[in-house]
């Protein structure tokens, strides 16, 4: 059986491909563990300076594999709180806490947890034909995989509730117009554009990127004063990196900087 998640490391960029195309890359237990292992690897290996996530086939990810939730084959209702705690939430926490950029190329439909995992990453590019669907309400569930947080922070309550309660698909273009994602890209250009961006990040000032990510995320919950303190602390750390010294030296020498991620 093929691996449910494919990984390929090149020039500091870890390409992670969700790989259950006949199920639209829906999550079974194996895929959960494999995605988590890939993100954990990005935490552990200094050589990895950026992650790019995409899906194999025509979809990005259709969320939970509902074949594993057939009530006619179960002895009673499942404890979905337990499956979130065991499978989804650790991966979401690893994504948000990774001190390196994560780019997502949403190559096709992203539904349920599949949509929300994409939204939790740092830079979301989506093919114009892609759709984001908060599919939960159609089967009696509620937004998970960080969706209630990200949708409300990024869109506000009205649009978050509209998407979550109706389950209507949102086009990539509309998602970009609303500020839910970074960009909608022509289908044929998606992987080239996402790969070029990820490679650019992979040769950038990794510590500065990681601190920038932390700072923007902290602003969702901090007040202004706390955020100023946070900026003071992150800038202090950034100012001590070799990449900052290289950036300033390169500017003064009128040459391109060579960042080493340190
Ligand atoms: O359970 C827990 O642990 C709690 C956590 C929950 C997190 C969640 O993500 S809940 C939400 C689960 N996802 C969904 O409800 C989405 C279900 N899928 C769809 O609504 C549609 O498939 C799509 C809108 C994503 C795409 O529609 P379309 O028309 O392009 O494709 P399709 O024909 O519906 O699907 C193609 C195949 O993929 C089909 O299989 P077949 O008939 O060719 O053998 C379909 O059954 C399969 N598929 C699609 N989504 C899933 C799936 N199989 C299992 N699980 C899926 N989620």
The fraction of the chain above a pLDDT of 90, given in percent, is 99
User: Region 95-107: what's the mean pLDDT?
Assistant: 98
Q: What is residue 127's three-state secondary structure?
A: strand
For residue 154, what are its two tokens? Answer: 């990024």
**Alpha carbon distance 68, 136 (integer Å):** 16
The fraction of the chain above a pLDDT of 70, given in percent, is 100
Name 256's Cβ contacts closer than 8 Å, sequence gap at least 6.
Answer: 250
Atom of ligand 1 nearest to the CA of 144: 7
For residue 37, what are its two tokens? Answer: 């292992």
Mutate to test the pocket of ligand 1, among 18, 62, 116, 120 (most ligand atoms within 8 A of CB): 62
What average pLDDT does the structure give for the chain? Answer: 98
Confidence (pLDDT) at 232: 98
Atom of ligand 1 nearest to the CA of 145: 7
Nearest CA to ligand 1 atom 31: 24
| pLDDT tens digits for range 205-247 | 999 999 999 999 999 999 999 999 999 999 999 999 999 999 9
Confidence (pLDDT) at 249: 98
For residue 176, what are its two tokens? Answer: 């970009």
Confidence (pLDDT) at 1: 61
Element (H, E) at 211: helix 206-218
Going along the chain from its start, the domains and CATH numbers come out as 5-202 (3.90.226.10), 206-253 (1.10.12)
Atom of ligand 1 nearest to the CA of 63: 9
Nearest CA to ligand 1 atom 45: 23
Atom of ligand 1 nearest to the CA of 131: 24
Q: Examine the predicted complex and report whether its ipTM is higher than 0.85.
A: yes
Nearest CA to ligand 1 atom 50: 62
**Alpha carbon distance 59, 23 (integer Å):** 9
Q: Is the pLDDT of residue 2 over 90?
A: no
| pLDDT tens digits for range 3-25 | 999 999 999 999 999 999 999 99
| pLDDT tens digits for range 168-207 | 999 999 999 999 999 999 999 999 999 999 999 999 999 9
């Amino acid at each position: 059986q093929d691996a449910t998640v494919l990984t390929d490391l090149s020039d500091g960029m870890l390409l992670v491909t969700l790989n259950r195309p006949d199920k639209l890359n829906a999550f079974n237990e194996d895929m959960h563990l494999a995605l988590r292992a890939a993100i954990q690897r990005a935490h552990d290996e200094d050589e990895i300076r950026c992650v790019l996530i995409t899906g194999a086939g025509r979809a990005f990810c259709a969320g939970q594999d509902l074949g594993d939730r057939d009530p006619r084959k179960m002895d009673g209702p499942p404890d979905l709180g337990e499956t979130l705690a065991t499978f989804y939430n650790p991966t979401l926490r690893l994504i948000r806490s990774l001190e390196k950029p994560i780019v997502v190329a949403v190559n096709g439909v992203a539904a349920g947890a599949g949509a929300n995992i994409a939204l939790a990453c740092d830079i979301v590019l989506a093919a114009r034909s892609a759709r984001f669907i908060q599919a939960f309400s159609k089967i009696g569930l509620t937004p998970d995989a960080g969706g209630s947080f990200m949708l409300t922070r990024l869109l506000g309550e009205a649009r978050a509730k509209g998407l979550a309660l109706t389950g209507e698909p949102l086009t990539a273009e509309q998602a970009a117009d609303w500020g839910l994602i970074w960009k909608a890209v022509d289908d044929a250009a998606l992987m080239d554009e996402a790969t070029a961006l990820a490679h650019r990040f992979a040769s950038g000032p990794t510590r500065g990127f990681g601190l920038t990510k932390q700072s923007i995320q902290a602003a969702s919950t901090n007040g202004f004063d706390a955020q100023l303190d946070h900026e003071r602390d992150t800038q202090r750390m950034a100012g001590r990196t070799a990449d900052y010294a290289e950036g300033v030296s390169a500017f003064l020498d009128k040459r391109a900087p060579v960042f080493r991620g340190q």
